Amino acid sequence: MSGWLDMGEYSAFVWACFAIFFVFLLWDLVQPAWRLRRLQREIALRARREAARSATTTEHPIP
């Protein structure tokens, strides 16, 4: 097992690749949840704006 962990002269390259891979894997897991949350906030904000806009408009505009 220690032979697998100690990769000789290539260890810096191999461990850097593992680290980069796991960073991208984590990003791939987290980013869709962040995007979904942002889209839900935008939809709620648009709904509030539309409700406020429809509440302030009058039925009979002044000619």
- In the chain, which residues have pLDDT < 70? 1, 4, 57-63
Give me the number of domains the chain comprises: 1
- The reported pLDDT for the residue numbered 1 is 64
- The reported pLDDT for the residue numbered 16 is 94
Domain of residue 50: give its range: 25-56
Q: Is 34 a domain residue?
A: yes
- The reported pLDDT for the residue numbered 61 is 61
Q: Is 61 a domain residue?
A: no
Global confidence as pTM = 0.58
- The reported pLDDT for the residue numbered 30 is 98
Q: Is 31 a domain residue?
A: yes
Q: Is 12 a domain residue?
A: no
Q: Is 18 a domain residue?
A: no
Are 50 and 44 within 8 A, CB to CB?
A: no
- The reported pLDDT for the residue numbered 59 is 60
Q: Is 14 a domain residue?
A: no
The alpha carbon of residue 11 and the mean position of all alpha carbons in its chain are separated, in whole angstroms, by 32
